[in-house]
Amino acid sequence: MFDSLQDRLQSAFKGLRGKGKLSDADIDAVAREIRVALLDADVAVPVVREFIANVKERARGAEVSQALNPAQQVIKIVNDELVRILGGETRRIRFAKNPPTVIMLAGLQGAGKTTLAGKLGRWLKAQGHSPMLVAADLQRPNAVTQLKVVGDQAGVTVFAPEAGNVSGAQTGSGTQSIGDPVRVARDAVAEAKRSLHDVVVIDTAGRLAIDAELMKQAADIREATQPDEVLFVIDAMIGQDAVGTAEAFLEGVDFTGVVLSKLDGDARGGAALSVRSVTGRPIMFASTGEKLDEFDVFHPDRMASRILDMGDVMTLIEQAEKVFDADQAAEAAEKVAGGSFTLADFLQQMEALSKMGSMSKMLGMLPGMGQFKDQLANFDEKDIDKIKAIIRSMTPSERDNPKIIDGSRRARIARGSGTQVSDVNQLVTRFFEAAKMMQRMAKGGGVPGMGAMPGMPGMGAGKRAGAKQPKQNNKKKGKRVSGNPAKRAAAAQAEPAKPAGAGAFGFDQNAAADDFELPKELRDLL
């Protein structure tokens, strides 16, 4: 969604790189570029004015004039301001002290409230709660039926005592409401207490435009249920209308948080940058796709990093932790280091990656991938399915030992997987090349063409189980070593120790390779 904004901001920063000092003219120029970028992204004008004023004030201060790299410092200032207007800190749901916690959804028709109710219910269930969805939208045709289907897919209970409008009947003022949504919402809270559901999510009716009837109905439901959270669901593709719509709902319903839907769209995304600043209400959740699992807590700092093409590694790590088993990952690392990683292991890793979601979205979370957005947009997810089909068409012995796959076997595998022999050849060839490179990196050999790497914790050849230990040579050229253990120990104590950091790359030569520690975040990611 933020592709256009991302490109324009990168273009604005390009002129600053390589400058040891920034003049007022440089700051004005980059501020002008940022202003155009934000306005083009449909960010509200008052928000843009405040944003640019803060950036220029800080850019002319001591933190930039005294910085070793002024360009990087300006980027940091823009990042800080983006985080600020997006809400600063991550806002979590405030759960009631005495269950059930009541969450009411409000918004325009077409914003995606019903689907989002299912996503929120599924997310709450994954957090250990027992949610119940409430079908209080009795106006939109088949809205109750849709919520039942979504709730069934999410594995969440749905409270729907009224069938609602199933015929699409119209009245003079609009779609007919069949039943009393206020009574449905009130009864739902009582039912949740009886059936021990600790969270109630109320799906209310929306309209194609803001009107008094919608606001009164939403206000009546709020008064009847006294919700702990009122979430305003807004279509992130709505553009400049987002501000007016949000202000109207704030006055009529007084929501406590915002949920952005359709963040995977191709609109310019100004709503996300405007709503929080204009209403003062935090963005709490974001929906990034049509699937029920494409929904998560909104993190302002991570969204700012994505906009500035700094990636979102923390979200990527969290998604990986959900699907990758730690023991299996450790076992796979041992196999890579020992050269016993097979196509069966590779298939297992591919299955786990598929559970994380779209491959192009995962790659897009890596820093600097903005320059490859065209390639990511053209990435065919079906290629992953093709690789899986080829491996599944192999026999267990062929997966364990791909070297036995000759011409006739490749033809059989291609027929079984519905692919070409060239596809099988390409997979086998690349697997052998990747296995060699991974084994070399695991042993500390580094990436080909980049030189050697110091041994990584748990991956050094000397510590690997079953690895052959090199013989230690205590003799030094031109100096005799006594055969008496006592004299040899005394000589070793008398010899001056080598200074730390004397080795290549600044590492201590006296320390073992496995004493080298990577930063925790990078070590966890690896």
109 is in an annotated binding site: yes
Residue 206, marked binder = yes
Q: Is 204 annotated as a binding residue?
A: yes
461 belongs to an annotated ligand binding site: no
Residue 160 tokens, joined: 């729907």
Q: What is the DSSP code (8-state) at residue 164?
A: -
Domains of the chain: 3-85 (1.20.120.140), 101-310 (3.40.50.300), 317-442 (1.10.260.30)
Distance of CA 407 to the CA centre of its chain: 42
Q: What pLDDT score was predicted for residue 473?
A: 47
So what's the pLDDT on residue 125?
93
Q: Tell me, what's the pLDDT at 343? A: 85
Q: Is 450 helix (H, G, I), strand (E, B) or coil?
A: coil
Question: What does the pLDDT read at residue 306?
Answer: 72
* Residue 262 annotated as binding site: yes
Is 205 flagged in the annotation as binding?
A: yes
Write b or e for each residue in 57-84: b if 16 or more Cβ atoms lie within 10 A of its Cβ, otherwise e.
ebbeeeebeebeebbebbbbbbbebbbb
Residue 252 in marked binding region: no
Q: Is 111 within any annotated ligand binding site?
A: yes
Is 114 annotated as contributing to ligand binding?
yes
- What are the tens digits of pLDDT across the range 303-333? 777 777 665 566 666 666 666 666 766 777 7
Q: What is the DSSP letter of 232?
A: E
Whether pTM exceeds 0.85: no
Closest among 391, 369, 487, 397 to 3, alpha carbons compared: 369
Burial (Cβ within 10 Å: 0-12, 13-18, ≥19) of residue 364: buried
pLDDT at 472: 45
107 assigned binding-site residue? yes
In Å, how far are 206, 222, 462 from 213, measured between CA atoms? 10, 14, 74
Closest alpha carbon to 43 in 276, 386, 354, 357: 276
Amino acid type, 401: N
The tokens describing 42, both together, are 């449909």
Task: Look at the block and give the residue holding tokens 């959804």.
Answer: 105
Beta bridge partners of 479: 476
pLDDT attached to residue 187: 93
263 is in an annotated binding site: yes
Whether 203 has a binding-site annotation, put simply, is yes
419 is in an annotated binding site: no
- Which DSSP helix (H) or strand (E) runs through 384? helix 382-392
How far lies 83's CA from each of 97, 111, 147, 522, in Å?
A: 31, 25, 34, 23
Residues of the chain with pLDDT under 50: 171-176, 445-478, 496-519, 521-523, 525-526
- What is the percent of the chain where pLDDT is above 90? 17
What's the token pair of residue 383? 């290629």
pLDDT at 501: 38
Whole-angstrom distance, CA of residue 495 vs CA of residue 493: 6
